Amino acid sequence: MSSRIKLYQDDVNVVVNKICDEIQARDAEFLPGKWQCFNIAFLDPTGLELHWDTVARLASMGTMDLIINFSTSTINRVLGKAKRGTIEAKSAHQFFGTDDWPQEEPNATYSRRAWIDFYLERLKSFGYVVDIDPDWGGMDMAVKNSKNSQVYSMVFASKHELGNKFWSQSTKKAQPPKLPGF
């Protein structure tokens, strides 16, 4: 079993093609053209270093579910400064894959919700099933610090409704963690 496990200590934006090529090679061994391996990618950037092109490459895999650490606190700070031509705007463009992200609103909670929903909507173009409730939001779970401020959200995307059902059931029962100390 351990011979099938590979760990990469590198920038995912650099190694994503190698990882996807290995998955496709593994798929070719099992019922070629009939059935693909189930895949899930947990993407854990600390900020905006996850590029949209990387998400697109992973999404190109037939059965790739995604769990993404969506750093709402970083996005809140960066997009508050993002003006055309700045390094912040370049980072936001790489993360969202477009310059058309929602403009920051005075209410940080509204902005966070708008950015997450925008990201989830963009995932639809890859075949992900995304249901966004206008009052509650989409397939994400907020993680807050000890002062009850949102730090990040865990965003889930699946191309199959059963994946979304499992995520919904588990997040309804889960108590989001409170991060101590900040």
- Where in the chain are the domains? 10-171
Cβ pair 53, 139 in contact under 8 A: no
pLDDT (tens digit per residue) in 134-171: 544 456 777 777 887 777 888 889 988 888 788 777 77
Which of the 8 DSSP states describes residue 86? S
pTM here? Answer: 0.81
Sheet containing 150-157, strands listed edge to edge, beginning at the edge strand earlier in sequence: 39-43, 64-70, 150-157, 140-145, 178-179
**Whole-angstrom Cα distance, residue 54 to residue 97?**
10
Can you point out the beta strands (E) in 3-84? 39-43, 64-70
